[in-house]
Amino acid sequence: MRYSNEQVRAAAEQLREKFEGLEEKQAIRRAPELTALYDQLKTMPPEGRAGFGKDVNVLKNEIEGWVKEHNLPILKRSAIDVTAPLDINSPKPELLSTQFGSRHPLMSELENILGIFARMGFTAVESRQLDDDYHMFTSLNFPQGHPARDEYDTFVTQEGLIAPAHTSVMQNRVLKNTKPPVRVVIPGRTFRNEDLDARHEHTFYQLEGIYVDKGINAGNLIATLKAFLEEYYGQTLEVKTQPFYFPFTEPSFEFTLSCPFCSKKGCNICSQSGWIELLGCGMIHPNVLKEGGIDPNEYTGFAWGCGIDRLVMMKNGIEDVRNFHSGNLNFLRQFS
CA gap 162, 141 in Å, rounded: 17
- Is the pTM above the cut of 0.75? no
Range with the poorest average pLDDT among 84-98, 131-145, 239-253: 84-98
What structural domains and CATH numbers belong to the chain?
Answer: 6-75 (no CATH), 105-335 (3.30.930.10)
Binned at pLDDT 50, 70 and 90, residue 41 comes out as confident
Q: What is the pLDDT of residue 97?
A: 67
Residue 10 has pLDDT above 60, yes or no: yes
Mean pLDDT of 127-135: 92
Percent of the chain at pLDDT exceeding 90? 40
Percent of the chain at pLDDT exceeding 70? 90
Mean pLDDT of 167-194: 93
Give 81's contacts (C-beta < 8 A, 6+ positions apart): none
Provide the Cα torsion 219, 272, 194, 257; round to 10°.
Answer: -10
Q: What is the pLDDT of residue 215?
A: 95
Q: How many CB atoms lie within 10 A of CB 197?
A: 10
Q: What is the pLDDT of residue 152?
A: 56
Q: What is the pLDDT of residue 77?
A: 56
Q: What is the pLDDT of residue 52?
A: 81
Please say whether the beta carbons of 225 and 253 come within 8 A. Answer: no
DSSP annotation of 327 reads -
Helices 32-43, 6-21: axis angle to 10 degrees equals 160
Mean pLDDT of 10-23: 82
Q: What is the pLDDT of residue 332?
A: 82
Q: What's the farthest any 2 CA atoms get from each other in the chain? A: 92
Secondary structure in 3-state letters for 174-207: HHHHCCCCEEEEEEEEEECCCCCECCECCEEEEE
Mean pLDDT of 42-70: 78
Provide the Cα torsion 319, 243, 301, 143; round to 10°.
Answer: -100
Q: What is the pLDDT of residue 19?
A: 82
- Phi/psi of residue 176, nearest 5 degrees: -75, -30
CA gap 289, 287 in Å, rounded: 5
Q: What is the pLDDT of residue 75?
A: 45
Between 307 and 194, the higher pLDDT residue: 307
Mean pLDDT of 19-28: 80
Helices 32-43, 46-75: axis angle to 10 degrees equals 150
Q: What is the pLDDT of residue 71?
A: 64
- Render the burial of 209-224: b for 16+ CB within 10 Å, e for the rest: bbbbeeebeeebbbeb
Instruction: Tell me the per-residue pLDDT of 180-191, one tens digit each, with 9 for 90 and over.
Output: 999 999 999 999
Q: What is the pLDDT of residue 72?
A: 53
Instruction: Tell me the per-residue pLDDT of 244-269, one tens digit each, with 9 for 90 and over.
Output: 999 999 999 999 988 877 778 887 77
CA gap 322, 313 in Å, rounded: 11
Between 228 and 316, the higher pLDDT residue: 228
Q: Smallest Cα–Cα separation from 228: which of 171, 284, 306, 167?
A: 306
